[in-house]
């Protein structure tokens, strides 16, 4: 069935689905109020420098201050040495600015690069996630259709997916000839086979955009947004609408017109593949996307063989456990285990892409005795990860079947973006059992009796489920306590009480 892009707009929500051979591979959601800031350029103010962490907090106008590492500071933005003035040395290099600094891990100490109160131009590299502020860098990158412009870095890169040496040399020579002095470009895969006129148009557009950013910077006072990235749909079309995509179907006329105009300007040869959906049923029902999305929040993911994955996402890391389940195989236990792990490796990569899981990930494959089988599973995992555009780092599978890996996280994962913590358990997935709460209450009654010795009756307000247990299965425990403390105990069931909430008092 090939590759398709299906776009749905409902109210303020826009959903962008990438389908590969009829199966949902990626889903991106924009609800307006939770927009992504990645790619936005801000004029920020340094509010705190942390030498111990070699990092700084930068106020850019968002809810939380952004986080800036020393290694993400380009020399042009470094504070000059006390003996030099910035205005007199606008082109001073880092060596000229801080000649007495000793590099740490290849970088000068952050306290020699920036100072509190300094204004600095930064770009968001990673969205705010949970309680963490955005991560920013002074290495500005401006992506276009065919290239990525890096005005602060003297570097030229060619996509590894452009395999022919002749084509690579041609692109390298062309970019070297037309790029500004000291600036850099990354040539994207879609450049292969394109006319140089299209590449030059893209280069000119990005160079002019950088000049506009610098001009706007002089007119603003920190904190201020200098440049905003395109909205989600246009950004994804720019980066993902390639010759491999057979069609893009959109159910909203306004979005269709916006995308058609963008595609017509930058990739006119693909404009005919953009289609407006006019069917009577919701577009995601027609293409089977809605059913796939509803499965994304499930903790258990079944494999075709009968095995399954358990995906457990926590704040610090994500753990994925492989289980054989109903899969019994036909040969030896080792062969059955290996086949289940090989199938799981492909499904794990699919789930990482689909759920946009990032950060530290631990994979717990079923134990395999033979090193050759562990190597097969490791290679299968690495092969599957080649289809993932996010940067990953995978360690070899251990004798226990564990794989440690990291996946670049630039935005909130899918589960967190379409759900919220349970109001009842506060996201833990657990509450104290009714029996535990009953015994907590009985212990609290003893404490209350010691505090109020002259009172005749002890009253308990509790959740109805807890109250029923105290008057039912645990009635003998309550009566035994009454005999012990020589006081009556009255239990009241209050429907609005949380299962773990109770009150104990005397009268």
Domains of the chain: 3-36+229-291 (3.30.420.60), 140-228 (3.30.230), 297-415 (3.30.1710), 434-506 (3.40.1260.20)
Q: What is residue 1's predicted lDDT score, i.e. its pLDDT?
A: 66
List, in order, residues 6 or more apart from 140 with CB less than 8 Å away.
41, 121, 123, 150, 151, 152, 210, 213
pLDDT for 378: 93
Angle at 325 between CA 322 and CA 328, to 5 degrees: 115
Q: Would you give per-residue pLDDT tens digits along the chain (507 residues)?
A: 689 999 999 988 899 999 998 899 999 888 765 567 889 999 999 999 999 999 999 999 998 999 999 989 876 544 433 322 222 222 322 222 233 333 345 568 888 889 999 999 999 998 887 778 899 999 999 998 888 999 988 888 888 778 788 888 888 888 999 899 888 999 887 787 778 888 888 899 899 999 999 999 999 898 999 998 888 788 888 888 888 899 999 999 999 999 998 888 778 888 999 999 999 999 999 999 998 888 888 899 999 989 999 999 888 899 999 998 888 777 788 889 999 999 999 999 999 999 999 999 999 999 998 999 999 999 999 999 988 888 899 999 888 889 999 998 766 788 888 888 888 888 778 899 999 999 999 999 999 998 888 888 999 999 999 999 999 999 999 999 999 999 999 999 999 999 999 999 998
Phi and psi at 291, nearest 5°, equal -65, -40
Strands 402-407 and 359-364: antiparallel
In whole angstroms, what is the distance from residue 248 CA to residue 95 CA?
A: 51
Please tell me the predicted confidence (pLDDT) of residue 104. Answer: 43
Its sign, for the CA torsion 168, 174, 180, 186, is negative
Would you state the pLDDT for residue 195?
Answer: 81
Whether this prediction's pTM lies above 0.75 is answered by: no
Sign of the Cα pseudo-torsion (55, 57, 60, 66, in order): positive
Residue pair 45/26 in contact (Cβ under 8 Å)? The answer is: no
Cβ-in-10-Å burial (0-12, 13-18, 19+) of 356 comes to buried
Q: What is the 3-state secondary structure (H, E, C) of 353-410?
A: HHHCCCEEEEEECCCCCCHHHHHHHHHHHHHHHCCCCCCEEECCCCCCCEEEEEECCC
Name the residue among 56, 59, 58, 8 with its Cα closest to residue 29.
8
Torsions phi, psi of 176, nearest 5? -55, -40
Q: What one-character-per-residue DSSP string does 149-205 give?
A: EETT---EEE-TT---HHHHHHHHHHHHHHSPTT-EEEE-GGGTT--HHHHHHHHHH
Burial pattern 88-111, b for ≥16 Cβ within 10 A else e, equals: eeeebebeebbeebeeeeebbebb
Are the CB atoms for 353 and 26 separated by under 8 Å?
yes
Nearest to 186 by CA among 132, 244, 144, 226: 144
Contacting residues for 110 by C-beta, under 8 A, at least 6 apart: 49, 50, 51, 54, 55, 56, 70, 73
Other beta carbons less than 10 A from residue 160's beta carbon? 8
- Residue 151 is encoded by which pair of tokens? 């005005």
Are the CB atoms for 151 and 143 separated by under 8 Å? no
Q: Which two tokens stand for residue 109?
A: 């100490």
Query: CA 336 to CA 327: how far, in whole Å?
Result: 8
**Number of alpha carbons in the 13 Å side-chain half-sphere of residue 12:** 5
């Amino acid at each position: 069935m090939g590759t398709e892009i299906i776009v749905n707009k409902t109210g303020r929500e826009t959903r962008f689905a990438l389908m590969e051979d009829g199966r949902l591979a990626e889903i991106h959601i924009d609800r307006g109020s939770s927009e992504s800031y990645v790619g936005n350029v801000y004029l920020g103010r340094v509010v705190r420098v942390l030498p111990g962490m070699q990092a700084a907090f930068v106020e850019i106008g968002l809810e939380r201050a952004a986080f800036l590492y020393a290694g993400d500071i380009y020399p042009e933005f470094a504070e000059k040495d006390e003996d030099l003035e910035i205005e007199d040395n606008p082109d001073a290099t880092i060596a000229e600015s801080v000649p007495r600094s000793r590099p740490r891990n290849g970088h000068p100490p952050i306290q020699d690069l920036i100072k509190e109160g300094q204004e600095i131009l930064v770009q968001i590299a990673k969205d705010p996630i949970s309680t963490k502020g955005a991560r920013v860098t002074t290495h500005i990158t401006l992506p276009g259709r065919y290239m990525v412009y890096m005005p602060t870095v003297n570097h030229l890169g060619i996509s590894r997916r452009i395999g022919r040496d002749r084509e690579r040399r041609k692109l390298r020579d062309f970019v070297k000839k037309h790029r500004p002095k000291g600036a850099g470009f990354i040539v994207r895969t879609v450049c292969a086979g394109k006319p140089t006129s299209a590449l030059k148009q893209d280069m000119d557009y990005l160079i002019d955009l950088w000049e506009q950013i610098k001009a706007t910077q002089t007119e603003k006072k920190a904190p201020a947004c200098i440049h905003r990235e395109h909205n989600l749909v246009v950004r994804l079309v720019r980066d993902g609408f390639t010759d491999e995509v057979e069609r893009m179907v959109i159910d909203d006329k306004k979005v269709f017109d916006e995308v058609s105009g963008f595609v017509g300007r930058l990739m006119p040869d693909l404009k005919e593949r953009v289609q407006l959906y006019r069917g009577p049923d919701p577009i995601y029902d027609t293409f089977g996307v809605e059913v796939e999305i509803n499965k994304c929040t499930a903790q258990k993911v079944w494999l075709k063989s009968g095995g399954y994955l358990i995906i457990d996402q926590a704040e610090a890391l994500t753990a994925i456990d492989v289980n054989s389940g109903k899969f019994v195989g036909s040969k030896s236990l080792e062969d059955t285990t290996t086949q289940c792990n090989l199938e799981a490796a492909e499904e794990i990569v699919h789930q990482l892409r689909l759920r946009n899981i990032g950060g530290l990930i631990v994979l717990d494959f079923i134990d395999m005795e033979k090193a050759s089988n562990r190597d097969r599973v490791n290679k299968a995992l690495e092969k599957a990860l080649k289809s993932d555009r996010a940067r990953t780092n995978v360690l070899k599978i251990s004798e226990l079947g564990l794989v440690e890996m990291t996946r670049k996280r630039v935005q909130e994962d899918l589960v967190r973006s379409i759900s919220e913590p349970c109001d009842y358990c506060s996201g833990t997935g657990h509450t104290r059992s009714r029996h535990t709460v009953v015994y907590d209450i009985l212990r609290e009654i003893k404490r209350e009796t010691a505090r109020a010795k002259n009172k005749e009756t002890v009253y308990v307000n509790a959740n109805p489920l807890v109250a029923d247990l105290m008057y039912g299965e645990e009635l003998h425990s309550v009566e035994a306590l009454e005999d012990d403390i020589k006081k009556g105990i009255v239990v009241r069931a209050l429907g609005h009480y949380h299962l773990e909430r109770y009150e104990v008092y005397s009268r």
